């Protein structure tokens, strides 16, 4: 690990000023991803701006929805009584990630910003356009079992590793940020990027911007929800495929509303809009769910070692919907 300067500002404007002026400065919160990257030589910050003293940890009901401070830990969010009652899908997704020890340290903002777990990105001796733009993508013709089946490019086929972000994408969350130009809101659908020609850019944050909160709209999907995560082992493993499913049902089992998003399949949480549209107004049946799962797979493309995801993904969607709807 290379030497670096360490700063610990006590207010948000000061933290933003430092980050905005220093090209080699990184914000440090829980450190559960950044410190690993530093140890492995993937990133080498010149300055760490410790933001843990900033007043960004609150979880509060605002305007019928919920505002989660960027420094609220994953455990605090997942175990919060209001989240458990009104946003159970978010709690399920968070608890599916990492280990209890890491969830006690990892923050909401840091979870949104965590980098891919692609082995080529983590190995400085291998080519990776995310780590060194223009060096090539080792995964395309290499070991790509964990990699994308949606939205990839010739530059990068890595996937976003966050479970929390999949649920936030399904629930139409908004990310609040503050930077040198002031405050702004970014819809979750626009926060993370597809790789395109610039895979080194994971998100749409501008220089010096700091995530201050995540906001959720008024709760709708409070009952018939499920987060399904398929992985190689039952804890501390990243998703091969994950599905966030939420249904708003009427008394006759009609589907008034539906939200579907996937993890482990793209460079960003992947929303299944066409499948949602197909299910709206229909009734809860296994056949309707199966058709929706097939619709969701339009445009999917596998690589040498992840062709199995083309079968696993629709089966996971079907199972997540069945579990959410309590179909045995």
Mean pLDDT value across residues 193-201: 98
| Residues whose CB is less than 8 angstroms from the CB of residue 32 and which lie 6 or more positions away in sequence, other chains included | 98, 102, 105, 106, 110, 114
Residues 6+ apart with CB under 8 A from 27: 15, 19, 49, 51, 210
Q: What's the CA angle centered on 167, arms 249 and 177, to 5 degrees?
A: 125
DSSP label of 254: B
User: Does residue 328 have a pLDDT over 80?
Assistant: no
Count Cβ atoms below 10 Å from residue 14 Cβ, excluding itself.
15
pLDDT for 142 beyond 90? yes
235 falls in which pLDDT band (50, 70, 90)?
Answer: confident
pLDDT in tens, 276-293: 999 999 999 999 999 999
Give the number of other Cβ atoms within 10 Å of residue 296's Cβ: 25
> Can you tell me the distance from the alpha carbon of 176 to that of 184, in angstroms, rounded to the nearest whole number?
6
Nearest in space to 245 (alpha carbons), one of 268, 270, 265, 262: 262
DSSP 103: H
From the number of C-beta atoms within 10 Å of its C-beta (0-12, 13-18, 19+), residue 62 rates as: exposed
Q: Over the stretch 263-322, which tens digit does the pLDDT of each residue have?
A: 999 999 999 999 999 999 999 999 999 999 999 999 999 999 999 999 999 999 999 999
Average pLDDT over residues 179-207: 97
Domains by residue range for the chain, with CATH: 5-52 (3.30.43.10), 224-324 (3.30.390.50)
Which residues are CB-contacts of 44 (< 8 A; sequence separation ≥ 6)? Answer: 1, 2, 4, 24, 38
Determine contact, residues 92/227, Cβ cutoff 8 Å.
Answer: yes
Taking the C-alpha atoms of residue 230 and residue 242, their distance in angstroms, rounded to an integer, is: 6
Structure-block tokens of residue 291: 């058709």
CA of 294: how far to CAs of 240, 271, 304, 314, in Å?
18, 14, 22, 6
Distance CA 235, CA 198 (A): 32
Mean pLDDT of 106-123: 98
Burial of 181 by CB count in 10 Å (0-12 exposed, 13-18 middle, 19+ buried)? exposed
Give me the mean pLDDT over the 223-236 stretch.
95
Q: How far apart are CA 227 and CA 259, in angstroms?
A: 12
According to DSSP, the residues that pair with 192 across neighbouring strands are 203
Neighbours of 274 (CB within 10 A): 15
């Amino acid at each position: 690990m290379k030497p670096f300067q360490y700063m610990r500002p006590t207010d948000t404007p000061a933290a933003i000023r430092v980050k905005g002026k220093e090209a080699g400065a990184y914000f440090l919160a829980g450190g559960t991803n950044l410190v690993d990257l530093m140890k492995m030589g993937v990133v080498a910050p010149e300055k760490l701006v410790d933001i843990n003293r900033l007043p960004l940890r609150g979880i509060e009901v605002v305007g019928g929805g919920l505002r989660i401070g960027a420094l609220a830990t994953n455990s605090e969010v997942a175990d919060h009584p209001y989240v458990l009652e009104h946003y159970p899908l978010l709690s399920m997704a968070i608890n599916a990630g990492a280990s209890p020890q890491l969830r006690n340290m990892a923050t909401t903002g840091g979870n949104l910003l965590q980098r891919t777990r692609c082995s080529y990105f983590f190995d400085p001796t291998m080519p990776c356009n995310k780590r060194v733009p223009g060096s090539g993508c080792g995964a395309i013709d290499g070991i790509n079992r964990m990699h994308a089946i949606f939205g990839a490019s010739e530059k990068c086929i890595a996937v976003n590793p966050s479970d929390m972000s999949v649920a936030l994408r399904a629930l139409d969350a908004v990310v609040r940020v503050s930077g040198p130009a002031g405050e702004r809101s970014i819809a979750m659908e626009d926060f993370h990027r597809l790789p395109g020609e610039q895979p080194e850019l994971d998100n749409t944050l501008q220089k010096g911007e700091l995530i201050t909160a995540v906001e959720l709209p008024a709760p709708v999907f409070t009952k018939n929800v499920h987060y399904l995560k398929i992985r190689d082992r039952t804890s501390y493993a990243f998703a091969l495929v994950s599905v966030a499913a939420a249904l708003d049902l009427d008394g006759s089992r009609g589907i008034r509303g539906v939200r579907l998003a996937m993890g482990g399949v793209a460079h960003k949480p992947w929303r299944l809009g066409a499948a949602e549209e197909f299910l709206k107004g229909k009734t809860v049946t296994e056949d309707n769910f199966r058709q929706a799962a097939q619709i969701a797979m339009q445009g999917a493309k596998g690589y040498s070692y992840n062709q199995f995801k083309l079968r696993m993904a629709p089966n996971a969607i079907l199972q997540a919907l069945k579990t959410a709807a309590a179909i045995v």
